[in-house]
Amino acid sequence: MQILDFLYEEENKNSKFFDRKISITSKKTLIKGVKKSGKTYIIYDYLSNFHPDEYLYIDLLDERIKDLHVEKNLEKFLENKKIKILVIENYDFTFPLPSLEEIIITSHRKDVKLEGFDELMLYPLDFEEFIAFDRKHFNIEQIFNIFANLGTFPQIVLEHEHNVRSNLQDLIRIIIQDETKLNIFKKICELQSTKISLFQIYNQLKSISKISKDKLYRSIKELENENILFFVEKFDATNANKKVYLCDFAIKNALSLKKDFLKRFENIVFSELYKRYKEIFYTDVIDFYLPKQNIGIICAPFSPKEFIEEKLKKYSTHLLDLSLQEIYIISVGNEDAFNIEGITCNIVPFWEWALQG
C-alpha cells in the first residue's frame, strides 16, 4: 500500500505536449507502439483533464518499483481512494487487471490483445506532426531537410539538432537493451530499404559473433513485433525476399558509417505509408504497391521526368497487370504529370504528397 500511496501522490505533468493525430477517446484503451513514440505524453495530456485524486498512474518499468509487486493490493487501493482512472504503462500481462470502469494500458508489442479494449497504434512522428513539433522553420523544403536528418522520434526532434547521432544511439540502447538483438539490428540497418535474406544475415553475423539461426530468427521476429522493424513482401511472391524498413529512417546514419540517401528516402516514404495502409507490397518496378487502392508509388527524389517516363513505358504491361489507376513518383522538389496506357502518373514533392494524405 505504501508504494501505491507514493505513486498516487506523485505529480504527473506534461510540460511539452504537441498535438498528435491520435488521442484517447475510449474508457478502456490499449495504446501500442514502439518505445519512445510518445505514448506517455498522450496519456499525460489526457489526464490533465482530471483532478489528480481521480487517477493512479503506474509504469511497470519504473526502476523504483520493479519486483515490488504493486498489483498485490491494487484492487483494494483503487476502492479505498475511489479512483476513477487507472493507467498501467508497459503492462506485462502477468496479473489480471482490476475491475474498474476506466483503464489505460500501454505496450510496445503489437501482438498483444485485451478483450473489451479499444486499440490505438502510435508510431513516431509523421511529416505533418513533425511540422507541429518544429516551430523554428517556415520554408517547407528546409523543414523536409531537417526532418530527413532528425528522424521521427519526438524526443530527438525536441532536442538540439547537433546531437542527433549520439542522442539516437542513446535512444536505441534504451529501446533495444539485449546486446545480441542490438548487433542484429545494426546489421539490418545497413540493409535499410533493400531485399534481405535472413540466411545471408546469419552468415555475416556468425563470422563476427556466436549466434544460432534460432536466436537470429527469434530476435528479428521480436524486433518486428516491437515495431522496430517492418517487412514488405513482394506482390504475389510470398517466398521472395522481403524488403526491410526501420521504424525511424534516421537510425541507420546513427549506427552505421554506410550512408545512402536514396535508401533513406525510400524509408521516409514508407514511414508515411505504413500509418495509412494495411496492405503494402513491392514489385520489380514499383517501390510500393497498394492493391486495394490501385495505386503505385515510386521513390525518385532527383530523377528527371524523361527518365522516369521512359522506364515506365518499358514496363507498361506489368503496370496494366497490376490494374493501376495512379502512380505517384515522389520527388524532392520536382513536379510534373504524364500518362501511360491510361494510368495517371504524378511527379510530386514529398512534402506535398505527405500532407495531402
Tens digits of residue pLDDT in 89-136: 999 999 999 999 999 999 999 999 999 999 999 999 999 999 988 767
pLDDT beneath 70, residues of the chain: 13-17, 135, 137, 160-161, 208, 357
97, amino acid identity:
L
Q: Where are the domains of the chain?
A: 2-121, 125-259, 276-357
Task: State how far the Cα of 42 lies from the Cα of 123, in Å rounded to an integer.
Answer: 12
Number of Cβ atoms within 10 Å of the Cβ of 326: 14
Task: State how far the Cα of 148 lies from the Cα of 266, in Å rounded to an integer.
Answer: 11
Strands of 269-342, DSSP E: 281-282, 288-290, 295-299, 326-331, 336-340
Q: Give pLDDT, residue 13.
A: 61
- Collapse the DSSP code of 229 into the 3-class scheme (helix H, G, I; strand E, B; otherwise coil) and give the result: strand
Which CATH code, of 2.60.40.420, 1.10.10.10, 1.10.3090.10, 1.20.1370.20, is assigned to 125-259? Answer: 1.10.10.10
Task: State how far the Cα of 149 lies from the Cα of 15, in Å rounded to an integer.
Answer: 25
27, 41, 45, 31: which is closest to 106 by C-alpha?
31
State the cell numbers at 241: 525476399
R_g of the chain computed on alpha carbons? 23
pTM for the predicted model, two decimal places: 0.92
Q: Give pLDDT, residue 323.
A: 96
Number of Cβ atoms within 10 Å of the Cβ of 263: 19
Task: State how far the Cα of 320 lies from the Cα of 239, in Å rounded to an integer.
Answer: 23
